[in-house]
Every structure is written in C-alpha cells, then in structure tokens.
Chain A
Amino acid sequence: MEGEERMAHTEAHAAEAHAHDHAPTAFIWKYVFSKDHKVIGIQYYVTAMLMALIAGLLAMLIRVQLAWPEVNWGIIGRLLPAGFQGGAGQPYVMNPEFYAMLFTMHGTIMVFFVLSTAPVSGFGNLLIPLQVGARDMAFPFLNGLSFWTFLCGCVTILTSFFVGAGAAAGGWTSYPPLSALRGAVPGSNTGQTFWIIAMVFFISSFTMGGLNFVTTIINMRTKGLSLFRMPLTLWSMFLVAILGLLAFPALTGASLMLLLDRHFGTSFFLPTGLVLNNAPMVGANGQFVHQGGSPLLWQHLFWFLGHPEVYILMLPALGFTSDILTTFCRKALFGYKAMVGAMLAISGLSFIVWGHHMFVSGMSPYLAMAFAVGTILIAVPSAVKVFNWLATLWRSRIQYKTPMLWGMGVVSLFISGGLSGVWLGQSAPDIQLHDTFFVVAHFHLIMAGAALFGVFGATAMWFPKMFGRLMNDTIGKWHFWLTFVTYYGTFFPMHYIGLAGHMRRIYDPYQYEFLKNLQPLNQFITVSALILGASQVLFFVNFFWSAFKGEKATENPWNANGLEWTTASPPPHGNWPGAVPEVHRWPYEYSNPDAPKDFVMQHEPPLAVESGH
C-alpha cells in the first residue's frame, strides 16, 4: 500500500519535473547565463583561449627583451608609455618594472586562467556528463555560477594592468616581502591587491567546479559504468577535482594573510628588521612596523597548493592522451589498471613534494631531504605512464589525424620534461639549477607543453561534440608541425642556458660576463618563440572557421568507444534523446579479433567472447 503510494508520488513528481525541464529558448538563457554543461564548457574554453592570447603576447615581449635588450621598441614603446622610456629622438627602451610585470602576469594568467581552465573547466564540463552517461552535471546552476565567478576573476586580473602603478610584479609566486611591501616594487601597489582578489574569484570558481565534478563522477554514472570502466579522461578530471578541493585552500588562506600584511599591518610573512631603501620600516613609536613574521611560511603555503596545481594542469592532458592514442591507433590501452594506479600515485605524491621548490630557501636541510624522497619517487608512476603509452603504440595501427599528432606530442614532451625533473629533484644539483632557465625549460615542457598539446588534441578530437563539425585536418596538421618544432626550439635550448647559469626573471642578462656568450642562444629561442606565437593564428582561424563552416560531423566520426560518441554531434539538450545508454565494458576495446569491427563501443551489448573488463 505504502509502496504504491510512493510510486504514484514519484511518477507525479517525475511528470512535474519533466514539465519544468524545457530547454531554454531565449538567447540569454541558452547561450549566456546557461546551465547546460556543454555551453558552459565552451564558455570556459573560449575565455581561456582569449586569456592565452594575452598571456602569449606578454611572453613575446619577454622574449624580444631577452634576445635584444638594446633594441629600439619603436611603435610599441610609443603605444605603451608606462612600460617604456624614450621618445623625442631617443630610442624606446623597456622599463625593468615593466619586464617584472610581464613575467609575473604571463605566469599568473597562463597557470590559472588558461591552463587550469581550458582542460579542466572547459573539457571537464563538456565531457564529464557525456562520458558518465548523465544528462548534465550534478549542479547545473552552480556550474553556471562558477563560470561567471571565473569571468570576474579574469576581469579583475586584466584590470590590474591599468591600476595605479601597474599589475603585480613580484613573480607569479608573489613571494613576500617583495609582494607584501608596497614600496618594494611598483607592482606591489594596487596591482598586487588586484592579484589577490582575482585569485579569490578564481579559487571560488575552481572549488565550485570541483564539487560538481566529484559529485557527478561519483554519483551519476550510468548503469554498468564502474570506476574501472571509466575512460582515463574521467579519471583525470576526478583526480584533478580532488586535488583542487584539497590544495587550493592553502593559497586562499595565504592570500588572506598576505592581504592583511599589505593593508592591515599584520606580520604573517614580514619579519622584524625590514629596511627599505636604507630606511628602517619603523612606526611612530620607533619600533618596527612588522615583527616576527616568516617569508618561508608563505612559500610553504603557496607551494602546498603550487605543486598539486601543476599536476592539475598536467593530469587532464594525460587522460586525453590515453583516449586519443587508443582511438587513433586502434589498439586497447596497455595496462589500464597500472595507468589508473599511476595517476592515483602521482596525485597522492603531489601533496608531499612541495618543498622541492624551496631547497635553497633556508628551510631545514632535513626537511629538504624528506621532500627530495617524494620528488624522486614521483618519477616512478610518471615513467610507468610513458612505458604503457609506448606499449599501446607497439604493433598498433596509427591513423595520423590531427588529434593523434597532438597525443604523440604529449608523450614526447612528457618524456623530455619529466626527465629534466630528475635533475631538479636531487637537492644538491638543484643548488646550481634553482631559479635558472633550466627550471623554466622543465616546466614549460612537461606542464605547459603537455597541457597545451593536450588541449589542442582534445579540441581536435571533441570538436564534433562542441560544434557538430570537424576541424580542418590539413590546417590542423600544419598547426601541429609548426607548434611542435618551434615549441622544442623555444624551450629545449633553455636547458643549456640554465646549466650555464642563466638566472630567471632577469631584465638584462648581459650585465653579467658569464652570460654574455648566451645571447645568440637567447636569440634563437626568441625567433622560435615568435614563430610559435605566429603559428597559433592557424589554430584560431581553424577553430572559428570550422565552428561555423566546418564539415558536419556524424555521431561518431572517429569510430571511438566512449559514451559521448553514442549521441548526436553536438548532443541535444539532455544529451540523449531517448534513454541514457548502459555500459557493458571498458572504453578501450579496439581490434578485438573476435569482434565484428575493430572497435566495440562501451554501450554495445556484451559479445560472446570478451576480455572481461
């Protein structure tokens, strides 16, 4: 009796819910303040790519300055008087404070507003419901809110260029006292405050997104989709969300304390005895204004986030790569469980290695040893992933479409960048390499490069699900080759200049005798970088042209196995017009000799003979 009552109750509510669940029709609710994960994913993605344009331009300015510090900036100098001195017959020279702002904002925007966003919030939102077999994320309203919060962060950080003495200029790492004392560098005026506020917006957005990701993946998987049948893309999004939820609060707390130090006279990070410009920073009572704080405290808190953060950037690319490689080499992923285990190990270990950024900071040498252990250890699961990818490619059948090229590019960059990590993780050799361009080479190859190539590969692969069309494969290949070659051309030589002692964040390296002979190499790097930057025009053209005029895509243009390929390109509101498919196997069933085709999609009914995944 009670059961029947409950059934009737349920059906009535279901009908009611159905009646309320119309796809929005007004433009503003469909495309602007949308709650649809696909629209939100694209919003995040496009915003991140535009931020990448800006941060990329900043990088070009850095590179030109390093190659030719004596160059006359000409029209650029005239357009940006705040950053350059000159005019009236004098050549335009970049200001050192402008250079400091360039590398600070390049790093800040790229790390947070581009590479934490496009792969995670962009593709995560697009793909998670489709790959788990849900009609949307667990909290669609929260999802939309997270995007608009993110956008507030973007506006704040971009506005900081135009405030008072310019944007933050203390490095993306914002070490105090430099970032805490307003007089220490011009960017530490209002610009640094805006930096902090932008971070708060960003972290709030990322947290909202993380809650959505974790809940959707745990809670809303369709029937038959156990955790070990999930595509590695889903695993990576899941782990990234957890990393973000647990690691970002450290930066939230630290940012708040930095704000208090800057504006309210506290001394979390500011020690006793600060003397700025030969004047002790004392108050009216003759005592130091700040007393007892520790700059090391900021570093610990920052890097507690900072290290998981770089894995947040990298893990999605690792997930994409496994999906891309298997689809385009028509072979099952080698060692699925090992790959998942490796990602779990990487994620877990990422929480205990942060001190390797601080080997020479003056922290206890015993502490440094502890961090060196974890750091060297984390190379093991990373190597395991490379070996499994190679084993996947062995005796496969590679179809060289654009996504495949990017996937293989990720493997290449992961090898190069990962190996240089072994150099840096040993604490004593790191003495020579810390804060040199060797570090810059390392993280640009493994983190920025893998993430960027992952995004490009994912874009080419899942473009049909974004816009219902295919990207142009020829332009895509040209874009890949130009990018691949010039990316290495830009960042690989940085290993050499770093070993030669070239420090980071140096406005004019040729003040130093021991760096003078590195100018030709710096120039080579700059030329590569300029071509790299210019090559991205191909991508933007391909992206926007194909979105409107590209070849229309079918449901499953790549003959891939995931659930996202069981519905139209692009998927309709609610993702599947009928029932949500059920899952009967893992997503990597390619080239099974007993199957009728060279791929068996996840939702197809069980075959007579299967490997039992």
Chain B
Amino acid sequence: MATEILDARGPDRPPLLERPGGPTGPGPIRHGDDGGGPSFAFDPGQFAIWAFLGTVSMLFIGFTSAYIVRRTGADWRALPLPRLLWVNTIVLLLSSAALEVARRRRAALDLGGLRVWL
C-alpha cells in the first residue's frame, strides 16, 4: 500500500509504536493495554493535551469571571459589537466542523472525502 500502516483500531487509539519517553530499554515491550494492570491507557501526548486544556480553560474562566465582575464597575462602557463578529464566529465554527470531518475521513482511510472536506 502506498500509505503508511495506520492503526485500524480507530482514529483515537494510541499507536503501537513506542514513544521515545516511554518504556524503552531492554526488557519486554510494555503496551498499555495488554491485559491486567491499568485498566485503561491513553496516548500520553493526547492525555497531556487534554489535561492542559483543563488548565487553559481555568485561565479563561479566570479572565471571564474578572470580566463579569469588572463590568459592574461604574466606569464600564459597553462596546458596540460589530456585525462582522458574528460572521467571523460562524465561519470559525463551520471551518472547525469541516476540519473535524476531514480528520475522521482520514482515519477511515477515505482519501477522497479527506480532500473534499479540507
């Protein structure tokens, strides 16, 4: 096949390859999901990104709550929102959806669909 061997178990399962920072060195290769032991295993990088998303979310929650508190101040002047803001928001949402569909098409090895959605 011209394409590399993709993990046919689905788009989000960890690859079978060892990660450089993970268990290496002599000894049997440890896969996270070979039975017994930890009952779940995630790709470390993905797990860390999700954890970091939690951190970043808290940062934005902090800013948002500061905004909410601050707008009760006497000097607050509400900004008029330009209509373009809503157009941009819709474009962002639609393109995010399209990118997600494209990613699923790729994982399902649907190269034609991938090209369309990109």
Within 8 A of B (CB), among A216-237: 216, 218-226
CA A573 to CA B61, docked complex, whole Å: 42
B7 smallest CB distance to A (angstroms): 9
Asked if B69 and A297 make an inter-chain contact with CB atoms under 8 angstroms apart, the answer reads yes
Asked if A293 and B73 make an inter-chain contact with CB atoms under 8 angstroms apart, the answer reads yes
| Chain B positions within 8 Å of A139 at CB level | 21, 44, 48
| Chain A positions within 8 Å of B73 at CB level | 267, 291-294
Contact with B along A299-327 (1 / 0, CB 8 A): 01100100000000000000000000000
B106 smallest CB distance to A (angstroms): 19
**A207 interface hit (Cβ, 8 Å):** yes
Q: Out of B37, B42, B55, which one reaches A246, CB within 8 Å?
A: B55
Asked if A294 and B70 make an inter-chain contact with CB atoms under 8 angstroms apart, the answer reads yes
| Chain B positions within 8 Å of A301 at CB level | 62, 65-66
CA A253 to CA B63, docked complex, whole Å: 6
A67 smallest CB distance to B (angstroms): 41
| Chain B positions within 8 Å of A98 at CB level | none
**B86 interface hit (Cβ, 8 Å):** no
Asked if B37 and A225 make an inter-chain contact with CB atoms under 8 angstroms apart, the answer reads yes
| Chain A positions within 8 Å of B3 at CB level | none
A574 smallest CB distance to B (angstroms): 4
Asked if B25 and A21 make an inter-chain contact with CB atoms under 8 angstroms apart, the answer reads yes
B63 smallest CB distance to A (angstroms): 5
**A257 interface hit (Cβ, 8 Å):** yes
Q: Quick one: given A17-B24, A138-B48, A215-B47, are A292 and B76 in contact (CB under 8 Å)?
A: yes
CA A397 to CA B44, docked complex, whole Å: 42
CA A304 to CA B61, docked complex, whole Å: 12
| Chain A positions within 8 Å of B28 at CB level | 579
| Chain A positions within 8 Å of B48 at CB level | 138-139, 211-212, 214-215
| Chain B positions within 8 Å of A245 at CB level | 51-52, 54-55, 58
Q: Which of A8-16, A103-111, A453-461, A503-511 contacts B (4 or more CB under 8 A)?
A: A8-16
Q: Out of B16, B39, B61, B70, which one reaches A297, CB within 8 Å?
A: B70
B74 smallest CB distance to A (angstroms): 5
Residue of B nearest to A244 (CB): B55
Within 8 A of A (CB), among B7-43: 8, 16-18, 20-30, 32, 34, 36-39, 41-42
**A182 interface hit (Cβ, 8 Å):** no
CA A485 to CA B2, docked complex, whole Å: 74
Asked if A138 and B66 make an inter-chain contact with CB atoms under 8 angstroms apart, the answer reads no
CA A223 to CA B41, docked complex, whole Å: 11
Asked if A272 and B75 make an inter-chain contact with CB atoms under 8 angstroms apart, the answer reads yes
**B56 interface hit (Cβ, 8 Å):** yes
Within 8 A of B (CB), among A127-164: 134-141
Asked if B58 and A257 make an inter-chain contact with CB atoms under 8 angstroms apart, the answer reads no
Within 8 A of A (CB), among B63-101: 63, 65-66, 69-70, 73-76
Residue of B nearest to A246 (CB): B58
Within 8 A of B (CB), among A1-35: 2, 5-6, 9-10, 13-14, 17-18, 20-21
A207 smallest CB distance to B (angstroms): 6
B109 smallest CB distance to A (angstroms): 13
Q: Quick one: given A245-B54, A292-B73, are A223 and B24 in contact (CB under 8 Å)?
A: no
Asked if A226 and B38 make an inter-chain contact with CB atoms under 8 angstroms apart, the answer reads yes
Q: Out of A222, A267, A297, which one reaches B30, CB within 8 Å?
A: A222
Asked if B21 and A136 make an inter-chain contact with CB atoms under 8 angstroms apart, the answer reads yes
A434 smallest CB distance to B (angstroms): 23
CA A23 to CA B70, docked complex, whole Å: 54
> What total count of A-B pairs have CB within 8 Å?
156
CA A578 to CA B23, docked complex, whole Å: 12
CA A249 to CA B66, docked complex, whole Å: 13
Residue of A nearest to B71 (CB): A292
CA A573 to CA B32, docked complex, whole Å: 21
Asked if B75 and A291 make an inter-chain contact with CB atoms under 8 angstroms apart, the answer reads yes
Q: Quick one: given A138-B22, A215-B47, are A252 and B59 in contact (CB under 8 Å)?
A: yes
Q: Out of A13, A219, A247, A293, which one reaches B17, CB within 8 Å?
A: A13
**B5 interface hit (Cβ, 8 Å):** yes
CA A17 to CA B23, docked complex, whole Å: 10
Asked if A578 and B27 make an inter-chain contact with CB atoms under 8 angstroms apart, the answer reads yes
CA A9 to CA B6, docked complex, whole Å: 12
Asked if B38 and A225 make an inter-chain contact with CB atoms under 8 angstroms apart, the answer reads yes
| Chain B positions within 8 Å of A272 at CB level | 74-75
Asked if B55 and A219 make an inter-chain contact with CB atoms under 8 angstroms apart, the answer reads no
CA A578 to CA B51, docked complex, whole Å: 32
Asked if B37 and A268 make an inter-chain contact with CB atoms under 8 angstroms apart, the answer reads no
B43 smallest CB distance to A (angstroms): 8
Asked if B5 and A221 make an inter-chain contact with CB atoms under 8 angstroms apart, the answer reads no
**A250 interface hit (Cβ, 8 Å):** yes
B118 smallest CB distance to A (angstroms): 27
CA A207 to CA B49, docked complex, whole Å: 12
B77 smallest CB distance to A (angstroms): 10
A588 smallest CB distance to B (angstroms): 20
Asked if A18 and B25 make an inter-chain contact with CB atoms under 8 angstroms apart, the answer reads yes
B49 smallest CB distance to A (angstroms): 9
**A576 interface hit (Cβ, 8 Å):** yes
Asked if A214 and B51 make an inter-chain contact with CB atoms under 8 angstroms apart, the answer reads yes
A350 smallest CB distance to B (angstroms): 14
Asked if B24 and A219 make an inter-chain contact with CB atoms under 8 angstroms apart, the answer reads no
B68 smallest CB distance to A (angstroms): 10
CA A291 to CA B77, docked complex, whole Å: 12
A397 smallest CB distance to B (angstroms): 33
CA A366 to CA B21, docked complex, whole Å: 50
| Chain B positions within 8 Å of A578 at CB level | 26-27
Asked if A257 and B66 make an inter-chain contact with CB atoms under 8 angstroms apart, the answer reads yes
CA A462 to CA B23, docked complex, whole Å: 23
> Can you list 27 A-B contacts with CB-CB less than 8 angstroms, sorted by A residue number?
A10-B17, A10-B29, A13-B18, A17-B20, A18-B26, A21-B20, A137-B21, A138-B44, A139-B21, A139-B48, A207-B52, A219-B32, A219-B41, A219-B47, A221-B38, A223-B36, A226-B37, A246-B55, A248-B55, A250-B58, A250-B62, A253-B63, A272-B75, A292-B74, A294-B73, A297-B69, A301-B65
Question: 5 shortest A-B CB distances, which residue pairs?
Answer: A292-B73, A223-B37, A292-B75, A253-B62, A249-B59
